[in-house]
C-alpha cells in the first residue's frame, strides 16, 4: 500500500505486527493443492468437495502472530501490496518432520473396544479424548496403527501468495 509522505508517496513493506490481507494457494512439492483462499482454485482442484460449507475468501492476519505456519509468516515480511511471490517452505518451517514416535500401534481387539465396537477403517481419522487427531494407517487382525503426525508433516510446501492489502500497526 502507498501512503502520502509530504509531497511524495511511500510504499509500506510488511513488518511483524502488521495486518495483511492475502490470497493464497498451497500445494505440495508434487503439485497437489491442499488449501486455497480462491473459490475458483478450490472448485478446479476438487478440494471444495471436502469442505462444502467453507467460504473461500482472502485471509486477513497479523504477521508474526502464528496465525499461519512459520515459513509463510516469515515470507510475508518485506513484501508490499501487489506482490505475488511463490514461496517454498521446508518441513521444519511448515508442519514439521514426520516423526515415527507419533505413530502408535494398538492391539486390534482393544482398539475396537476403545472406539465402541466400530470397525476401524484405513484412511479414516479419530480424535482422542484430549483432542489429538490421528489417521488410521493400518488395520490388521492383530494390530491397528495410528499416525498422529499432521498429514503434511515431512512435506516441502509451495504457496502462491498475492498481497492484497497492508495495514501497518
What is the full DSSP assignment across 106-118? EEHHHHHHHTTTP
**pLDDT per residue over 68-116, tens digit each?**
999 999 999 999 999 999 999 999 999 999 999 999 999 999 999 989 9
pLDDT of residue 51: 86
Whether residue 168 has pLDDT greater than 50? yes
Inform me whether the pLDDT recorded for 4 exceeds 70. no
Q: What is the CATH number of the domain that holds 23?
A: 3.10.50.40
Residues 91 and 106 both lie in one domain: no
Residues 18 and 58 in one domain: yes
Residue 43 and residue 120 in one domain: no
**Domain match, 15 and 84 both:** yes
Instruction: Count the domains in the chain.
Output: 2
pLDDT score for 1: 45
Does the pLDDT of residue 37 top 90, yes or no?
yes
CATH number at residue 111: 2.40.10.330
Q: How confident is the model at residue 32 (pLDDT cuts 50, 70, 90)?
A: very high
6 falls in which pLDDT band (50, 70, 90)?
very low
Answer yes or no: do 92 and 32 share one domain: yes
Per-residue confidence (pLDDT) for residue 10, from 0 to 100: 60
User: For residue 59, what are the contacts with CB-CB under 8 A and spacing of at least 6?
Assistant: 21, 22, 23, 24, 37, 68
Task: Write down the pLDDT at residue 12.
Answer: 85
pLDDT band at 9 (very low <50, low <70, confident <90, very high): low
Dig out the grid coordinates for 17 from the structure.
505486527
Residue 46: give the domain boundaries.
Answer: 7-96+152-167
Q: What is the pTM of this model?
A: 0.82
Amino acid at each position: 500500500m502507498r501512503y502520502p509522505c509530504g509531497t511524495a508517496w511511500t510504499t509500506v513493506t510488511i513488518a511483524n505486527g502488521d495486518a495483511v490481507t492475502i490470497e493464497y494457494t498451497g500445494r505440495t512439492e508434487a503439485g497437489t493443492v491442499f488449501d486455497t483462499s480462491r473459490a475458483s482454485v478450490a472448485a478446479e482442484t476438487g478440494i471444495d468437495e471436502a469442505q462444502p460449507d467453507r467460504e473461500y475468501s482472502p485471509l486477513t492476519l497479523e504477521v508474526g502472530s502464528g496465525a499461519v505456519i512459520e515459513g509463510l509468516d516469515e515470507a510475508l515480511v518485506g513484501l508490499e501490496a501487489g506482490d505475488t511471490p511463490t514461496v517454498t517452505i521446508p518441513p521444519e518451517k511448515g508442519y514439521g518432520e514426520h516423526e515415527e514416535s507419533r505413530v502408535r500401534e494398538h492391539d486390534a481387539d482393544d482398539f475396537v473396544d476403545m472406539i465402541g465396537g466400530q470397525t476401524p477403517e484405513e484412511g479414516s481419522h479419530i480424535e482422542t479424548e484430549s483432542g489429538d487427531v490421528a489417521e488410521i494407517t493400518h488395520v490388521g487382525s492383530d494390530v491397528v496403527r495410528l499416525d498422529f503426525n499432521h498429514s503434511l508433516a515431512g512435506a516441502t510446501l509451495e504457496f502462491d501468495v498475492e498481497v492484497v492489502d497492508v495495514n501497518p500497526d
